[in-house]
Structures are given as C-alpha cells and as structure tokens.
Amino acid sequence: MTWDILNIIGTIAFAISGVLIAVEEDYDIFGIYFLGFTTAFGGGLIRNLLIGIPIENFWLQDYLFEIAFLAITIVYILPKKWIYNWNNCVVFFDAIGLASFAIQGANYAVSIDAPLIAVILAASMTGAGGGMIRDVFAGRKPMIFRSGIYALWAVLAGLAIGLDVIRGPYATFSLLIVIVILRILSVYFNWNLPRNINEAGNK
C-alpha cells in the first residue's frame, strides 16, 4: 500500500510540474503531454537502468500511465490564468515528486538487497531524474546542478532508508513530509551547497 501511494503521489506531482514548465515555455499540446510524461517517469527509468532492472518492467505500470494522463489532461484544460498562477507552485509539486520518488527508489533498491551506495544512488536518480530530464527538454539548467540544495534531500532519504532508520508507513510518510519541507525551505531561504572554493578569491 505504501509503495503504491508513493508511486501515485510522485507521478501526479511530477506530471503537474512538467505541465507547468511546458505551459511556461509555451509548448503545444504534444509538448505538454511529452514533458508531463517524461517528468513523471524519467527518474524511474534511469533508476531501472542503473541498478539493472529489466527495461520491460517499466511498461508494466499501466495504471500509473493512466493517472499521469489524467493529471496532465486536468491541468491542461484548466483556465490558462489558473495555470499561470500555479507557476509559483512548481517548486511545491517538484518537492513532492522529489520526496516520494526518492523514498520509493530507495525502498526498491533495499527490496533487491542492493548495497547502501546503490540505495543512495537509486534514491537520488529516482527522485531527481525526472526533474533533470524535464529541465533539459525545457532548455533549462537542471535543478540538480544548481547551487540550491536539491538532490541532497534525496541522498538523505536514501541514507535513512538504507541504514534502516525508517520503518513502517508512518515513519515513511513522516520522512516524505520532512523532505518536502526541507526542499521548500532551501528554496525560500536560498540555502546553497558550497561552490568553487576559489570563487571568492577570483572576484
């Protein structure tokens, strides 16, 4: 049940974030659906390739494809002024997708007895991969490579799950909420990871 809920939450959140970016970039209907689907499923596809899960398993998520299609369609048919007002919510939807898919990816790696580094990698790529692909297709610098803290929250989720700190559905959803809050706070307060150590001296 927890697995399915995380899948649904992440799929909806990332599909919506993809649509919002596509509308902001003035994409046509094909571009909107394409960006919505690639954002929702890109991270899982990258994870499967990295940890050796058969590629055909990706296509066995028929109900998630239907959910993503429905979410994209609902946002697409909303009045345009609503969608433009929602553009300020991209970070919120992206944070939800990052958190839910990072946890889901880490749990998937744990379920196949992957080592800790693979659990962390699965969490990072599942959580951040969809947003990274979305930003590349939208011609933007991917969030994962910006100075703002992004993928680190997925890494922390992978560590918590890989070290067996998180057990049970209540702890899992508590972790999801914590990651979402941390991601939003990192944007609001402009928290940054260190950049080039020589940058200050070169100015």
Contact in structure between 112 and 137 (CB atoms under 8 Å):
no
The model's confidence at residue 62, banded by pLDDT at 50, 70 and 90, is: confident
Q: Does any domain span residue 23? A: yes
Token pair in block for residue 113: 């007895």
Q: Does any domain span residue 203? A: no
Number of domains forming the structure of the chain: 1
Question: C-alpha angle with apex 32: 187 to 140, nearest 5 degrees?
Answer: 40
Determine the Cα–Cα distance for residues 198 and 165; give it in Å rounded to an integer.
37
Q: Does any domain span residue 98? A: yes
Residues 109-166: tens digit of each pLDDT: 999 899 999 999 999 999 999 999 999 999 988 888 775 688 899 999 999 999 999 8
Q: Does any domain span residue 88? A: yes
Average pLDDT, the chain: 87
Q: Does any domain span residue 199? A: no
Q: Does any domain span residue 102? A: yes
Q: Does any domain span residue 202? A: no
> By residue range, what is the domain housing residue 60?
2-193
Q: Does any domain span residue 156? A: yes
Helix (H/G/I), strand (E/B), else coil: 2: helix
User: Tell me, what's the pLDDT at 61?
Assistant: 82
Residues 96-108: tens digit of each pLDDT: 999 999 999 999 8
The number of helices, as runs of H, and strands, as runs of E, in the chain is 9, 0
